[in-house]
């Protein structure tokens, strides 16, 4: 699963570099108009890969959380306990 996430993020980085080569980040009047369709397609691919990587990472984290919960690694513990002097004595 981690391999999928890394491949998707690598694909996103490649798409971003390709878009920069086509003029992404420049002023709107400095972008060559023949590159607009290519930039649109590369942007859509980059967004799709980013969303897939985010979904896969959530899947992994939820599975690990349920595994730890099942194994008892995430027991609830009291962080603050009242001091004994604060309790009234009978």
Q: Which residue has the tokens 């920069």?
A: 20
Within a domain: 83? no
pLDDT per residue as tens, the chain (90 positions): 668 888 888 899 999 999 999 988 888 888 888 988 999 999 999 999 989 888 888 887 777 777 777 776 655 555 565 566 655 665
Q: Any residues with CB less than 8 A from the CB of 37 and at least 6 apart, and which?
A: none
**Which is nearest to 1 in space by CA: 79, 65, 53, 70?**
53
Q: Which position has the token pair 């930039």? A: 39
Domains contained in the chain, number: 1
In a domain, 86, yes or no: no
* Residue 49 falls inside a structural domain: yes
pTM (whole model) above 0.85: no
Domain that holds residue 27: 2-71
53 Cβ contact partners less than 8 Å away, ≥ 6 residues apart: 4, 5, 8, 9, 12
């Amino acid at each position: 699963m981690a391999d999928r996430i890394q491949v998707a993020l690598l694909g996103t980085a490649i798409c971003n570099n390709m878009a920069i080569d086509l003029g992404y980040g420049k002023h709107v009047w400095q972008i060559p108009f023949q590159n607009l369709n290519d930039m649109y397609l590369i942007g859509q691919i980059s967004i799709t890969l980013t969303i897939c990587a985010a979904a896969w990472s959530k899947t992994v984290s939820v599975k690990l959380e349920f595994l730890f919960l099942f194994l008892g690694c995430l027991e609830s513990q009291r962080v603050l306990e009242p001091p004994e002097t604060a309790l009234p004595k009978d």
